[in-house]
Amino acid sequence: MVRTFGKTKLSPLLTGISLLFAILLAIVFIIVASARWGWHPFFCLLLATLGLGLGIGLPPTGVLDRIREGFGGLLASVGLLIVLGSIIGVALERSGAAHRIADLLLGSGSRPGLRLATLGAVVSVPVFCDSGYIILAGLLPALAARSGKPVAVLALSLAGGLYLTHTLMPPTPGPLAAAANLGADGALGTIMLLAAIVCLPTLLVIWQGAARLGATVEAVPPVSEREAPSDRLPSASASLLPLLLPVLLIALGSLLRMVTDGDYPLLFFLFDPTVALLLGCGLALRLPHTDRRLDWIADALSLAGPILIITGLGGAFGAVLKASTLATDIASWMEGEAVSGSALLLLGFGIAALLKTAQGSSTGALVIASSVLFPLLPLAGFANDLELALMTLAIGAGAMTVSHANDSYFWVVTRFAGIEVGDAYRSYTVLTGVMGVTSFLTVLVVYWVSTLL
C-alpha cells in the first residue's frame, strides 16, 4: 500500500497490527508521562504526536505540516467559542450572577439534592466545574441546616451535577473539541439537545446515588471567607440571559438547518455559535459589578489559554492519526463488513473511560478519544448530525468515568466539601462511575430509538 503526501509517494513504515501497537504506545506514553512522571500535558501530547507521525512513515517535514494543520484546524473551529465561553463564566462568577442562579433554582423547596444537581448542571455549561464548585460550595452548610440533609449528600449532588455537563454539554471545551474532531462542529445544536436528554436520567441517578453514598460520609466544609450580599446580586433575568440567549440561538440555528435547504445568510449568521456566544458575552459583561470589566476579560483569557493549547494539540494528534492507514486496515480485517453503531459507540465510551481513569483529564480524554474514533466512523456509516452527536456524547460519558486522585476536580470536591480522601473514593468516585455508565446507556437507548424511526 502506497500513500501520497503532497507530490511524494510514501510507503508507510507501519500498518496493521504494528500500527495499532504504535498508536497504543503513543497513548500509553501520554498517560504515563502525565500521570506518573508529572510532565505537562503540552509536552506529552506534542512528543507523542511527533513520535507517532514519524512512526507511520511521514517525513519529518510532513509530520510538522500535519501538526500545524491539525492544531490550527481545530482551534479555527472551537477557539473563539472557548474564549467567549470563558468570559461568560468569569463574568457570571465575579458579578454574583452564579449566586443569583443558585438562589433561583434552590429556593426553599423540597428535594434539595435534586435541585443542587440541577443547579450544578446549569452553572457548569459556561463555568468550569472546578470554578463552579468553589463558587457554590459555600451554600452547602446553610442549605443543610435548612433542609435537614447531611452536608455530604448535598455536596455529592452538587459535584455530580457540575461534572455532568462539564463532559457532555457545549460550549464546555471538552465536548466542543470532541465535536470538532469528529466533524460534528456544525451540529452543536443537535449535541446540546441530545445532551439535555441524556442528562435527565443521569440527574436522577446523581440525586439518588448521592443520597445513598453520602448518608454514611462525614463532610465538614471550610468556613466561607465571604458571601456575596443578596441585595447586590444581579436580577434573576439578567443573570440567566447570558446563558439562555446563546443556547436558544444555537438551537434555532440547528432547527433551521434541519427544516430548510434555503439560503438565509442573516439568520445563519445570527444563529452561528460564535455570534450567539458573543451576544451572551456582551450581556454578561453588562452585569452589575464592582470590579473592572478588563480584569474579568484578562482572567478569562488566562483561563482559556491552557485549554486552547491542549485542545489544539489534540487536533494535531488527530491529524496525524488521519494520515495513517488505521481505517483502511480495520476495514480490510473485517473484509468489508460493517461495524454496528452500538459497537462503535461502546468503543468510543471505552477508550474515553480508559483515558480518563488513567490520566485524569476529562478534556484530554475527550480530545484523544475523538481523534482515535474519527477514522472509524465510516465503518458504522456514521455521517449525519444525529449519529455524530451521539458519538460525541458516548465519548463524553466515558470521559466522566471515573474521577479519582489524578483528577484536579476530585481534590476541589474533597477540599471544599470537607470530605476525607478515603470517604471520597467510596462515595464521589463511585458516583462518577455510575454517572458515566448511566449516560452511556441513555445514549445507546437514544441511538436504538433513532434507528427505528
Strands (E), 317-403: none
Instruction: Report in angstroms the alpha-carbon separations of 339 from 87, 327, 343, 381, 437.
Output: 41, 12, 7, 8, 22
CB-based contacts of 95, cutoff 8 Å, min separation 6:
234, 239, 284, 287, 288, 289
For the beta carbon of residue 237, count every other beta carbon within 10 angstroms.
Answer: 10
Residue 162, pLDDT > 60, answer yes
Residue 158 pairs in a beta bridge with none
Q: Provide DSSP, 65-131.
A: HHHHHHHHHHHHHHHHHHHHHHHHHHHHHHHTHHHHHHHHHHTT-S-HHHHHHHHHHHHTTTS-HHH
Give the CA-trace dihedral at 432, 434, 436, 440, to 10 degrees: -170
The answer to whether residues 334 and 379 touch, using CB atoms and an 8 Å cutoff, is yes
d(CA 271, CA 254): 8
Domain count, the chain: 1
The answer to whether residues 30 and 48 touch, using CB atoms and an 8 Å cutoff, is yes
Class of residue 12 by CB neighbours under 10 A (exposed 0-12, middle 13-18, buried 19+): middle
How high is the pLDDT of residue 91?
A: 84
The answer to whether residues 318 and 70 touch, using CB atoms and an 8 Å cutoff, is yes
Instruction: Determine the distance from the C-alpha atom of residue 134 to the mean position of all C-alpha atoms in its chain, rounded to a whole number.
Output: 19
How high is the pLDDT of residue 165?
A: 92
How high is the pLDDT of residue 331?
A: 59
pTM summary value: 0.73
Percent of the chain with pLDDT over 90: 19
Q: How confident is the model at residue 50 (pLDDT cuts 50, 70, 90)?
A: very high
Residue 163, pLDDT > 90, answer yes
Give the mean pLDDT of the chain: 81
Q: How confident is the model at residue 415 (pLDDT cuts 50, 70, 90)?
A: confident
Hey, what amino acid is at 172?
T
d(CA 123, CA 129): 8
The answer to whether residues 382 and 450 touch, using CB atoms and an 8 Å cutoff, is no
Class of residue 383 by CB neighbours under 10 A (exposed 0-12, middle 13-18, buried 19+): exposed
How high is the pLDDT of residue 334?
A: 56
d(CA 30, CA 36): 10
CB-based contacts of 123, cutoff 8 Å, min separation 6:
92, 98, 101, 102, 132, 135, 136, 162
- Domain of residue 219 covers 3-452
d(CA 334, CA 117): 44
